[in-house]
Amino acid sequence: MQNLSTQDEWIARARAVFPAGGFGNFDPGIIIARGEGSHVWDENGTDYIDYLIGSGPMLLGHGHPEVIEAVLEQLPKGMTFFANNAKGIELAEAIVEAVPCCEQVRFVTSGGEADMYAIRLARAYTGRNKILKFEGGYHGMSAEAQMSLAPTTHVNFPQAVPDSAGIPPGVADQMLIAPFNDLAAVEMLLAENDDIAAIIAEPLQRIIPAAPGFLQGLRALCDRYSVLLIFDEIVTGFRLAYGGAQEHYGVTPDICTLGKIIGGGFPLAALGASAEIMRHFDKSIVGTDKWLMQLGTLSGNPIAAAAGLKTMEILRRDGSYSRLRETGRALQQMQSRALEGAGIAHQICGDETLFDVFFTTGPCRDYRSAKHDDPARNATYNATLRQHGIFKSPGKLYPSLAITPVDLEKTEYAIERAVQSIALT
């Protein structure tokens, strides 16, 4: 009988119990056994420098001692209550203090849930139905969010295309799709449709930056047409700056959604807005057509809130964001240097706090233009990085505050090997 490694055994067990052998999130060919600081180890004991950071939450790295202490302090006091609790209230206070558009917040368990409620809230507030979404924008798994998320065939704008089975056709009729960074297209849709409740946008769409003036333009158009502007800050919140993309770019939306970092690695997300908009969640209006029911078993979970609060406290310390950006810049520069040295056409797209290489030289302005000229080249580049101990998603690299100078040296070595691997193809 063949000798399977520990990891292979886990992979085989996963294949038996999960469709496609995995949780649906990431490559099921690797099973993570543990994480510490800037590193993760797989079930075979292979050590990786972690640039996936749990898809964003672990900005401080794994097992930050102060976060663990905060969680351990809360654990014996109770894991979940379904009732208001001090940690959840303190976390809401910290969010309201930090994030410009939030006078009040509501907690949910996942980012996708926050986005679903944000869309519903905009409809409740405006009394309108349609939502303008950008092609390729990611807002979780709700029926609306699955419209034109990653279409493989291109239809004419503003037609919405479902990316998932099981969605009734009527949902597409309530969605208008525009190309990111195209203010003229947005303006035309607003002028032609008087039933638009909101525009929902990632202020940094995946890793495509908003062109100068685009977010300001969206704000001005929303004001002109009395449409709400929703920023999905699940990724950008507490990452681009402490106050998120709205602080970083100086544009305040009407509603924002937050997740990932605010739960410190535990399941917690939120949506926030002015008290006037948030009043739809107020139980005193039950029975009126303005009431929006919202609750969840784990909302405001005290363990998640304790971890999120401590994470945010650490992020507030002097130099956190400049250090994060310095690390990101160093990682960008080492990739540019190596790729330029090998004469490989590329560009680095994103923000210093999350980015990746595109093997293309054309503009990366929207879903259709932000594409690799040669996807196989990207696959080889990422596979070689993995072989040399770099753990990252194939479409994104997240620096963390746990990355050390030694990690950067090892990463540079891996990048040089990865560049060699594609220079040979």
At 297 the three-state DSSP class reads coil
| Token pair belonging to 39 | 């590193």
DSSP secondary structure string, 159-186?
---BSSTT--THHHHTEEEE-TT-HHHH
Give dist(CA 39, CA 17) in Å, integer: 28
Give dist(CA 318, CA 320) in Å, integer: 6
Only one residue has tokens 């496609």, namely: 20
Which range binds ligand PLP by CB under 6 A, 137-145, 320-328, 385-393, 406-414? 137-145
Give dist(CA 12, CA 366) in Å, integer: 39
Kindly state whether residue 140 participates in binding ligand PLP, applying the rule CB under 6 A. yes
Kindly state whether residue 133 participates in binding ligand PLP, applying the rule CB under 6 A. no
- Residue 244 CB, nearest approach to ligand PLP (Å): 12
Kindly state whether residue 264 participates in binding ligand PLP, applying the rule CB under 6 A. no
Give dist(CA 153, CA 167) in Å, integer: 18
Task: Decide if 232 is catalytic.
Answer: yes
Which range binds ligand PLP by CB under 6 A, 8-16, 60-68, 132-140, 239-247? 132-140
Kindly state whether residue 351 participates in binding ligand PLP, applying the rule CB under 6 A. no
Only one residue has tokens 């994030």, namely: 99
> Considering 87, 133, 260, 392, which one is annotated as catalytic?
260
Q: Using CB under 6 A, pick the residue from 131, 197, 262, 269 that binds ligand PLP.
A: 269
Backbone torsions φ then ψ of 168, nearest 5 degrees = -60, 145
- Residue 111 CB, nearest approach to ligand PLP (Å): 2
| Binding positions for ligand PLP, 89-118, rule CB under 6 A | 110-112, 115
Give dist(CA 15, CA 122) in Å, integer: 41
Q: Using CB under 6 A, pick the residue from 135, 144, 182, 232 that binds ligand PLP.
A: 232
Kindly state whether residue 138 participates in binding ligand PLP, applying the rule CB under 6 A. yes
Residue 231 or 381: the one with the smaller Cβ distance to ligand PLP is: 231
Q: Which residue is nearest to ligand PLP (CB)?
A: 111
Task: Decide if 130 is catalytic.
Answer: no
Kindly state whether residue 308 participates in binding ligand PLP, applying the rule CB under 6 A. no
Kindly state whether residue 139 participates in binding ligand PLP, applying the rule CB under 6 A. yes
- Residues contacting 73, CB < 8 A, separation 6+: 306
Give dist(CA 256, CA 105) in Å, integer: 9
Whether cis (ω within 30° of 0) applies to the bond prior to 28 is no
Task: Decide if 125 is catalytic.
Answer: no
> Considering 138, 249, 381, 398, which one is annotated as catalytic?
138
Backbone torsions φ then ψ of 182, nearest 5 degrees = -115, 85
- Residue 115 CB, nearest approach to ligand PLP (Å): 5
Kindly state whether residue 202 participates in binding ligand PLP, applying the rule CB under 6 A. yes
Residues within the interface to ligand PLP (CB under 6 A): 55, 110-112, 115, 138-140, 202, 232, 234-235, 259, 269
Q: Which residues are known to be catalytic?
A: 138, 232, 260
